[in-house]
Chains A and B, each alone.
Chain A
Amino acid sequence: MDERENGEMESGRAIVDVRSLTKVYRGRKGPLTALKDLSFQGRRGEVLGILGPNGSGKTTTIKSIATLIEFDAGEVSVMGVDVKKQPRKARSYLGAVLEGARNVYWRLTPWENLLYFAGLRGLTPGEIRERARGLLDSLGLSEVSHKQVRFFSKGMQQKVAVACAFITKPPVVLLDEPTLGLDVETARKMRSWILETAKEEGTFVLITSHDMRFIESVCQRVLILKEGRVLREGTPESLRNLFSRKVYRIVLEEDPQEWLLAHLQHFPSFRIERDERGGSLLFSLQDPSELYRVFALLQSASLTLRSLDILNDDFEEVFLDILKDGDALESTTARGEG
């Protein structure tokens, strides 16, 4: 069986295959559909992100793959193993960091945690010593490898949890909100580490996060969920192109007149930002040619232009646009063309 599964891996087939996944929670307030017909695949070396507002089904997806939840319909397989029929075997291919949990033992050191979690997967300390040293080293934990985790910062604790998820070189790693509570620097380092490790070891990493920048920079592909359904799927770039509106910042020498402001309000996402030297006008434009109209208006008001900048698109804006337009687009998907 393992050879067949390895064969599937080598031939580039999906190592995680989610088909028509549906989960309904039945509570006192009636049934709540957490996931409806969710389908996607994951391949070796790929980092896939799941974005979505609270209650969109991100964690339910992760838990369904991890066999922590019994889903109602659909199929999920990991390395060709059906998680419903052979949950234990499927788990042997998984590592995970789960949201809202400590994931590691705070009374143990990072070293002891790594040995322990390898043991839970049936590996003896002798078999993973080198691997454990390598992980601690690459995550910058070598210096503190023999201190109890309870004395660590949130970021370091999260690093220990991530190291434990990767300890047995599992082909699939699930990371539910791995950057929650992390400072910018730690999140940046974590991002680079995940990217490198996924690439080097051919791991499929599935990440959920609220951190748009993190998802944008670490994921090759993104699923956007709303109410348990996929609104959009694609590369961060393709999603950005689909919804992108160039943001232009125009700085004027003097304040614009009232009549001019009334005209400018007609442009979508127009706003004024004040700084100590005067006002900045900001425009988000889907069609750059609209900029000519803006200039024409500024010229007619005899205002002097100090500077013009094109700002980077904000992925967060793109995400919000997708959610906003989601109901109209619910059944369509833009497969990664970027």
Chain B
Amino acid sequence: MRRVLGLIAAEAVKYWAEIKSYLFNTLSWLVALYIIFLTFFLGLRHFAGPSVDGTKLDSIIVGYVTWMFALMGFQGISYGVVEETHKGTFEQLYLSPLGLETIFAVRILYEFLYSLVFNSAILLLTMVTTGRWLSLGLPGFLKLFLLLTLSLPSLWGLGYLFGGLAMLSKKMGAFLQVVSFLLIGLVALPGYPFKPVSLLPFTAGASSLRVLVCSSGSQTFPLLWYLFLLALSSFYILIGLWLYRLCERVARRRNLLGQY
């Protein structure tokens, strides 16, 4: 445990140093995402005209922000492997006695906190621009946080899997960009109440979030639903880790670790 604390402190040092160093890039990214959203939102309102009701617009806002969370959750590990390989530091991470999975797990937590701040900023900007304010109230906000926390780890599992594949194939970097857009599908599919598509990673959680926000936080979910989200996330995390370890073993056998 003491070792993990050392790692948590070290990742904080690195994370903060990189935020400072990449501040301009971060702000540019924020502006770019905001413009993309604005184009999409205003375009839809313009073409659909008065037929678009408030619930639909709320749904778009929350869908976009949920996609941002999904993107950051997925990319934390998958792009993490690619980036570390590009930077020439991947092998050094691997030399840590704590293991790469632990390092990436700590990074995911920081990434999650960061995405909370970053996405809140996007949400605020979009609400100011569109004039539609999402009002959830404290109970609704707590439900939102719980749904997000329980369902997002399923994408971390997916991140581990693609991180593992990125160790094996140099072409995975380009493919990850495609997968990032496929996440829109996972977010947009109707996963609540339960349907077969609810078994896809994050779909059930994203759908619940949408329903919650559109009901202004009044929607209640049975305990079983929360347990289902937890089980689904655990399943994807375990599968992702297992496949990641498999890829890591093949990479070690073929001397592919850190090769780019």
Q: Do A and B come from one complex?
A: yes
Contact B98 A120 (CB under 8 A): yes
The answer, yes or no, to whether B103 is at the interface (CB within 8 Å) is yes
Most buried by A among B6, B13, B92, B96: B92
Contact A68 B94 (CB under 8 A): yes
Residues in chain A within 8 A of chain B (CB atoms) = 25, 60, 63, 66-70, 88-89, 91-92, 94-96, 98, 100-109, 112, 115-125, 127, 148, 164
Contact B9 A124 (CB under 8 A): yes
How far is B253's CA from A127's CA once the two chains are assembled, in angstroms? Answer: 36
How far is B40's CA from A5's CA once the two chains are assembled, in angstroms? Answer: 63
How far is B252's CA from A69's CA once the two chains are assembled, in angstroms? Answer: 4
Please name 16 further chain A to chain B contacts, defined as beta carbons within 8 Å, in addition to the given A105-B87, A120-B93, A125-B13, sorted by A numbering. A67-B95, A67-B252, A68-B94, A68-B95, A68-B258, A69-B255, A70-B253, A95-B95, A96-B91, A101-B90, A101-B91, A103-B88, A109-B17, A120-B103, A122-B3, A125-B10
Residues in chain B within 8 A of chain A (CB atoms) = 2-7, 9-11, 13-14, 17-18, 21-22, 87-99, 103, 249, 252-255, 257-258
Query: Shortest Cβ distance from B168 into chain A, in angstroms?
Result: 14
For residue B87, which residues in chain A have a CB less than 8 angstroms away from its CB? Answer: 102, 105-106
For residue B258, which residues in chain A have a CB less than 8 angstroms away from its CB? Answer: 68, 98, 101
How far is B99's CA from A91's CA once the two chains are assembled, in angstroms? Answer: 10
7 A–B pairs (Cβ distance < 8 Å), ordered by A? A25-B254, A101-B88, A104-B92, A117-B92, A119-B10, A121-B96, A125-B13
For residue A69, which residues in chain B have a CB less than 8 angstroms away from its CB? Answer: 252-253, 255, 257
For residue B21, which residues in chain A have a CB less than 8 angstroms away from its CB? Answer: 107-108, 148
Contact A119 B95 (CB under 8 A): no
Most buried by A among B21, B99, B103: B21
Q: Which 10 A-B pairs have the closest CB atoms?
A: A119-B10, A122-B3, A102-B88, A101-B88, A92-B97, A120-B96, A70-B252, A122-B6, A107-B21, A91-B97
Contact A116 B97 (CB under 8 A): no
Contact B255 A25 (CB under 8 A): yes
For residue B92, which residues in chain A have a CB less than 8 angstroms away from its CB? Answer: 96, 98, 101, 103-104, 117, 120, 164
For residue A102, which residues in chain B have a CB less than 8 angstroms away from its CB? Answer: 87-89
Query: Shortest Cβ distance from A80 into chain B, in angstroms?
Result: 16
For residue A60, which residues in chain B have a CB less than 8 angstroms away from its CB? Answer: 255
Contact A121 B91 (CB under 8 A): no
Decide yes or no: A118 and B6 within 8 Å by CB, A68-B252, A112-B14 being known contacts: yes
How far is B13's CA from A264's CA once the two chains are assembled, in angstroms? Answer: 68
Contact A98 B91 (CB under 8 A): yes
Most buried by A among B14, B21, B97, B103: B97
Most buried by B among A68, A94, A127, A148: A68
Looking across the interface, which residue of chain B has its beta carbon closest to that of A26?
B254
Decide yes or no: A63 and B6 within 8 Å by CB, A88-B97, A88-B99 being known contacts: no
For residue B88, which residues in chain A have a CB less than 8 angstroms away from its CB? Answer: 100-103
Contact B5 A91 (CB under 8 A): no
For residue A112, which residues in chain B have a CB less than 8 angstroms away from its CB? Answer: 13-14, 17
Looking across the interface, which residue of chain B has its beta carbon closest to that of A90?
B97
Contact A91 B255 (CB under 8 A): no
Contact B252 A108 (CB under 8 A): no
For residue A67, which residues in chain B have a CB less than 8 angstroms away from its CB? Answer: 94-95, 252
For residue A107, which residues in chain B have a CB less than 8 angstroms away from its CB? Answer: 17-18, 21-22
Looking across the interface, which residue of chain A has its beta carbon closest to that of B13?
A115
How far is B91's CA from A106's CA once the two chains are assembled, in angstroms? Answer: 15
Contact B249 A124 (CB under 8 A): no
Contact A119 B22 (CB under 8 A): no
Looking across the interface, which residue of chain A has its beta carbon closest to that of B249?
A70
Contact B13 A105 (CB under 8 A): no
Query: Shortest Cβ distance from B16 into chain A, in angstroms?
Result: 9
For residue B10, which residues in chain A have a CB less than 8 angstroms away from its CB? Answer: 115-120, 125
Contact A116 B98 (CB under 8 A): no
How far is B22's CA from A123's CA once the two chains are assembled, in angstroms? Answer: 26
Looking across the interface, which residue of chain A has its beta carbon closest to that of B9?
A124
How far is B96's CA from A91's CA once the two chains are assembled, in angstroms? Answer: 6
Query: Shortest Cβ distance from B245 into chain A, in angstroms?
Result: 12
